[in-house]
Chains A and B, each alone.
Chain A
Amino acid sequence: MNGGDIAAIFQGAIVTVTLSLIGILIGLPIGLGLALLRWANLPFAAKVVTLYVSILRATPLVTLLLLLFFALPNIGVPINPISAAILALVMNTSAFNCEVWRSALMNFPRDQYEAAQSVGMRAGQRFRRIVLPQIVRVSLPGLVNEMSLLIKVTPVLAVVGVVDITRAAVRIGAQTYEPLPPFLVAVALYAPIVFALVSLQRWIERRQIAAEAVA
């Protein structure tokens, strides 16, 4: 394995991080939207969301990705590997995020909401100024946890040919007949990213516990 190989893996890392960020950034608000649909209890929408979340949380990402990549062209929707990858990541992570947001919404203290109503705040204001800031705080550990999980499933993109860290490593291994060294380099790239997110999550949790202790 030479310098060019390592550079190839680092290029894969750029792809991994980029696609992860896109998946996270799109998945967060969609997850919130799904949670709100259920929380607001709109009759048809709530049931659809429940079904969607339940199925998506039970579906392996690789199966979902293969489904999207092969089935969409079949029904007339052309799709390239990167778009299929982003779509699969977003669908998957939004379902898990939905549950995190929903738990925060369900545990939201009712009397705070009523206090906002009693001072005449309109629905949009109530949500933006009272509900949202607090559920963001409460959901943060769970959402960061989900981000670290998302990074850990990005290798699946290799299955449809996206050259992320894993696929770059596999390629090199296939060329050099020494699979282990590139895999170890790959681990060395994934681990710090995931570890940083896990540490961030623990730090957030510790700060919240401390804040609650003072209050």
Chain B
Amino acid sequence: MIHDFGIVWSERALLLSGLANTAILSTLSAAAALLLGFVVTPALMSKRPAVSGSARLFVDGMRCVPFLLFAYIVYYGFPSFGIRLDNWTAGLAALTIYNAAYMAEILRGAWAVQPREPIEAGIAFGFSEIRLFRRIILPPLLLSAGPVIGNQMIQIIKDSAFLTIIALPELTHAASSIQSRHYVPFAAFITAVFLYWGLCLIIEAGVSSIGRVAEARR
């Protein structure tokens, strides 16, 4: 067994590059999904039925489709429309679009419980448009939604592992590659499991500190 871990250690470059890919992919798509969420949420709450209906269809649709299937559709299905994507772009696109729906729901929920009066005070004091959004609306919203967004990030990291099916060189793919070449399945995959766990603990630590910042202001 120790011998097996020794082999994994000798392949650490591959493993670490897989870890880096997972981390980068997840971070990029989480940020992009959150930004997209900021576009979809107002659409969800729009008074025009065409707009809110389409947004609702998108959000409910993504929640009813398994991510792995959606990734397959993006990677294999898009070429049918003439859009050829490499696996990185397809993976990033699938992760982003899929999770934008969840981020939109999260933001919608956080906005619904946001007290309106401090925002009205902002308007009364002359804040408008971007300044109102950036300095008065956004900070309390993010503080309140922080933990839920953190959970979604963990979900994104786990979803990224599905992308091994389209040969994206992330962590699970790296572990698979090591095990298939050296026949060290336990050592390879257990190491991957602990690396995922580590990523998760980092995010949970981040969420805790946001929680503390929010608590001081509550």
Contacts A58-B197, A191-B64 given; does A67 touch B158 at CB 8 Å: no
B172→A183 contact, CB < 8 A:
no
Please count how many residues in chain B sit with their CB below 8 Å of the partner chain's CB atoms: 41
B69→A59 contact, CB < 8 A:
no
* A-side interface mostly: helix
B161→A60 contact, CB < 8 A:
yes
A148 to chain B, nearest CB (A): 8
Residue of A nearest to B151 (CB): A57
B69→A62 contact, CB < 8 A:
no
A75 within 8 A of B: yes
CB-contact partner of B162 in A60, A70, A71, A198, under 8 A = A60
Distance of A16 Cα from B145 Cα, bound (Å):
34
Please count how many residues in chain A sit with their CB below 8 Å of the partner chain's CB atoms: 40
A156→B80 contact, CB < 8 A:
no
CB under 8 Å from chain B, chain A span 52-88: 54-55, 57-64, 66-67, 70-71, 74-75
Chain A residues with Cβ below 8 Å from B171 are 63
Distance of A180 Cα from B79 Cα, bound (Å):
9
A94 within 8 A of B: no
Residue of B nearest to A178 (CB): B80
A57→B192 contact, CB < 8 A:
no
Distance of A191 Cα from B196 Cα, bound (Å):
29
Report how many A-B pairs have Cβ atoms within 8 Å.
125
Chain A residues with Cβ below 8 Å from B72 are 166, 169-170, 179, 183
CB under 8 Å from chain A, chain B span 63-90: 63-69, 72-73, 76-77, 80
A173→B76 contact, CB < 8 A:
yes
B154→A58 contact, CB < 8 A:
yes
A166→B66 contact, CB < 8 A:
yes
Distance of A171 Cα from B199 Cα, bound (Å):
34
A71→B186 contact, CB < 8 A:
yes
CB-contact partner of A190 in B69, B176, B183, B185, under 8 A = B69
B123 to chain A, nearest CB (A): 33
CB-contact partner of A74 in B164, B185, B197, under 8 A = B185
B138 within 8 A of A: no
B161→A62 contact, CB < 8 A:
yes
Contacts A58-B196, A59-B158 given; does A166 touch B69 at CB 8 Å: yes
Per-residue interface assignment for chain A, residues 181 to 215, with 1 indicating a CB less than 8 Å from any chain B CB and 0 otherwise:
00110110011001100100000000000000000
Inter-chain pairs besides A63-B193, A155-B69, A187-B73, 16 sampled, C-beta below 8 Å: A55-B194, A57-B154, A62-B162, A63-B171, A63-B172, A71-B186, A152-B67, A155-B66, A155-B68, A156-B162, A158-B165, A179-B76, A179-B80, A180-B80, A190-B69, A195-B64
List A residues at the B interface (Cβ < 8 Å): 54-55, 57-64, 66-67, 70-71, 74-75, 151-156, 158-159, 166, 169-170, 173, 178-180, 183-184, 186-187, 190-191, 194-195, 198
